[in-house]
Amino acid sequence: MNLRQSTRSNAKMKMALQAPSGAGKSMSALLLAKGLTNDNLSKVAVIDTENGSADLYAHLGNYNVLSMSPPFTPEKYIEAIDICLKGGMEVIIVDSISHCWDYLIEYHSSMPGNSFTNWGKITPMQNNFINKILQSDAHFIATIRTKQDYVLNNKNGKMVPEKVGLKAIQRDGVDYEFTLVFDININHLAVCSKDRTGMFADRPEFIITAGTGRRIKEWCNNGTDLEPIKKQIKACGTLEQLRALYTANIAHKDSLINEFQNQQEVLKNQQIININKFSQNGTSSSK
């Protein structure tokens, strides 16, 4: 173990999308992934537990799909994640992680013996799955189904169920594990219910787009010390040098785009000035 200075330069975003059926979880996840990869969906994999629904959005680009079939065990999810990581995927969408919890609930109910004691066997299985997501070297977007939640209230001496909102179909508190959690309603509008980035807190409802993913990617990259690169940009004397530097630092494109564009304008103006000087010198020497 070694001490080191904190940095976000290698941060991998772990986020969750919570929504009822039909709200657009899969589509929103793919748009976020598109932004996180600078429109390179070939670096995105969807672990699909939703009966092939991931293929419905193939018009967005050539992303990869890994279809899972029941039983949706934590071990099977972990195996699927390993396949994606070995394939070099930069963004892994797990659509959805609710099926894993459904499996564990059913498995728990089938176990003989004391129910409370049996949870001691179930919890490590759930933890292994969630920790696989949190500790893997890739961006993760986990979708979570929600359902109507109820509480029992006493009305005129009778216990009556009343609606109290939507509840995630996953272990209670799983949202605390993620850096970002977006809640999407049936009208496809999102609000951020958990935000460690500070970018979306208290923001009004909005529609998730690829631009949302690009903002998140920029936040992840902002921990890098970009000052040396900015000095190199200003030192570029030709457009060819600037293009080569841009290509070498494509991972920080979103954070450095203004510097690259400004230097590009400077170099173009210098070219115009040099051409004008050459033209004037040629004209004056011919007189």
Domain span at residue 263?
227-286
Q: Are residues 231 and 216 in the same domain?
A: no
CATH number, domain at 184?
Answer: 3.40.50.300
Phi, psi of 113, deg, nearest 5: 95, -160
In this predicted model, what pLDDT tens digit does every residue of 40-93 receive, in sequence order?
999 999 999 988 888 999 999 999 999 999 999 999 999 999 999 999 999 999
Residue 287: predicted pLDDT: 42
Instruction: Report how far residue 131's alpha carbon sits from residue 150's, in angstroms, rounded to the nearest whole number.
Output: 30
What does the alpha-carbon distance between residue 117 and residue 74 come to, in Å, rounded to a whole number? 20
Do 150 and 275 share a domain, yes or no? no
| pLDDT of 285 | 44
Predicted confidence at residue 9, as pLDDT, reads 57
The mean pLDDT of the chain is 87
Q: Which residue spans within the chain are E strands per DSSP? A: 14-19, 44-48, 64-67, 91-95, 139-155, 158-168, 180-184, 190-195
Per the listing, tokens 């564990």 go with 104
Judge if 279 and 251 occupy the same domain.
yes
26 and 127 in a single domain? The answer is: yes
Specify whether 136 is located in the same domain as 263. no
| Residue in the block written with tokens 């080191």 | 4
Whether the per-residue pLDDT at 165 is higher than 80: the answer is no
Percent of the chain with pLDDT over 90: 62
Dump pLDDT digits (tens) for 32-43: 999 999 999 999
C-beta separation of 235 from 257 below 8 A: no
Q: Provide the pLDDT confidence category of residue 274 given band limits of 50, 70 and 90.
A: confident
The answer to whether residues 190 and 256 belong to one domain is: no
Q: Note whether 235 and 217 are same-domain residues.
A: no
Examine the fold and report which residue of 205, 221, 237 is the final residue of a domain before the chain moves on. Answer: 221
Of residues 286 and 278, more confidence is placed in 278
Contacts of 62 (CB under 8 A, 6+ apart): 41, 42
DSSP state for residue 203 in the 8-state scheme: P
d(CA 119, CA 104): 10
218 and 254 Cβ atoms separated by less than 8 Å: yes
List, as one string, the DSSP characters of 6-41: ---TT---EEEEEE-TTS-HHHHHHHHHHHHTTT-G
The predicted-structure confidence for 104-145, as pLDDT tens digits, reads as follows 999 999 999 999 999 999 999 999 999 999 999 999 999 999
Specify if 6 maps to a domain.
no
